[in-house]
Amino acid sequence: MSSSQDLATIEAEGRRIVELARSHPGRTVSQYPTWKLRDLAIHVASVHGRTAEICRTLPAERIPSAELPEGEDPFDWADDMLTDMVEGLRRTDPEAEVWTFGSDATLRFWRRRMVIETGVHRWDAQGALEDPDPLLAIVATHGLDEFSDMYLPRLGEIGTLQLFATDMGRSWQFGPGRPAASTSATASDLFLRLMSRPGAQLPPDWERAVDSLASPAR
Average pLDDT over residues 31-53: 97
Is the pTM value of this prediction over 0.85? yes
Band (218; pLDDT cuts 50, 70, 90): very low
pLDDT at position 36 is 98
Per domain, the residue ranges of the chain are 3-127, 137-211
Averaged pLDDT for residues 19-47:
97
State residue 215's pLDDT score.
56
Assign domain 3-127 to its CATH superfamily. dinb family like domain (1.20.120.450)
Residue 79 confidence (pLDDT): 98
Using one digit for the tens of pLDDT, what is the confidence trace for 97-156? Answer: 999 999 999 999 999 999 999 999 999 999 999 999 999 999 999 999 999 999 999 999
Q: 162-165: which pairs have CB atoms within 8 A and are 24 or more residues apart?
A: 163/190, 163/200, 165/140, 165/141, 165/190
CATH architecture of 137-211: 2-Layer Sandwich (3.30)
Same fold for the domain at 3-127 and the one at 137-211?
no
Summarize pLDDT for 172-210 with one digit per residue, the tens. 999 999 999 999 999 999 999 999 999 999 999 999 999
Please report the pLDDT score of residue 39 as a whole number.
98
pLDDT at 46 over 70: yes
